[in-house]
Amino acid sequence: MLRNIAVACAILAPLSAAPAQAATERPLSNITHDVIDFLGIDFLGIGPAQASPPQATSERPQAELSPREIAPMPVADVEAPPPRLPAVMALTPSVEKPLRRLFCVEYARMRSGLAVFGDAKYWWEHARNLYTRASSPVEEAVMVFSGSKRLKRGHVAVVTEILGPRQIVVDQANWQNKGEIDHATPVLDVSPRNDWSKVRVWDIRSGTFGAHVYAISGFIAKEFRTASRD
């Protein structure tokens, strides 16, 4: 190795001692490369593949995504079980068998004092300009179920407790079509915007919220008004 370095220095010494001839002959760098190629050595970290620095590029190499970064997100569980019975309820759901069969509309009139008549699905329209109508629950107000294939005449229930923005408790009659009175029945708002337009009702027999979703027209409060805002 030392012998090769001495030979290279001996060859390069005359070239550096004659600067006047360097302008007319090949550039010094090219001659140096020829010497390195001729000797076939790699000394002081310089060799045929390292004599010239790599050309800089303006584009940065794109980092590849690791398998963890491109892994798909987990799918939400759309079959999540319904909420359990709220623990903050003042009463637990129960069923009372009256002396005679009761319908939902007559029970709602007796409990709320509203003088509204006709099938339950018409109560929302019949209460216009008579009582306050609200889109969100009000205690002691009557919740009006819209008519549907399952509830051909609609349904009405009296709000007895508000548990939170999506859960209330109602008293109602004839919900099971047996003329009974269902006390402390939880109702769950399942509307996408939490506007109480769609609900599920607690089923006391299965001990969970029923699978059916019911459309709600709104809530009628007893306070009299000369004109309704709705």
Q: What is residue 224's predicted lDDT score, i.e. its pLDDT?
A: 57
Whether 30 is in a domain gets the answer: yes
Residue range of the domain that includes 217: 94-224
Q: What is residue 81's predicted lDDT score, i.e. its pLDDT?
A: 54
Convert 53-98 into a string of H (helix), E (strand) and C (coil). Answer: CCCCCCCCCCCCCCCCCCCCCCCCCCCCCCCCCCCCCCCCCEEECC
Q: What is residue 90's predicted lDDT score, i.e. its pLDDT?
A: 74
- Between 193 and 88, residue with greater pLDDT: 193
Tokens of 219: 């809530």
Whether 148 is in a domain gets the answer: yes
Going by C-alpha positions, the residue among 193, 211, 215, 209 that lies closest to residue 145 is 215
User: Within this chain, do residues 8 and 99 fall inside the same structural domain, yes or no?
Assistant: no
Work out how many domains the chain is built from and give that number.
2
Whether 85 is in a domain gets the answer: no
Going by C-alpha positions, the residue among 177, 179, 157, 176 that lies closest to residue 168 is 157
Q: Supply the pTM of this predicted model.
A: 0.62
Identify the band that residue 89 occupies on the pLDDT scale cut at 50, 70 and 90. confident
User: Can you tell me the mean pLDDT for 181-185?
Assistant: 97
Whether 86 is in a domain gets the answer: no
Which tens digit of pLDDT belongs to each residue from 10-31? 544 544 444 444 444 555 445 4
User: Can you tell me the mean pLDDT for 99-121?
Assistant: 96
- The three-state secondary structure class of 204 is coil
Whether 45 is in a domain gets the answer: no
Going by C-alpha positions, the residue among 165, 171, 156, 130 that lies closest to residue 219 is 156
CA 159 vs. chain centroid, Å, equals 30
Whether 123 is in a domain gets the answer: yes
User: Can you tell me the mean pLDDT for 90-102?
Assistant: 91
Whether 143 is in a domain gets the answer: yes
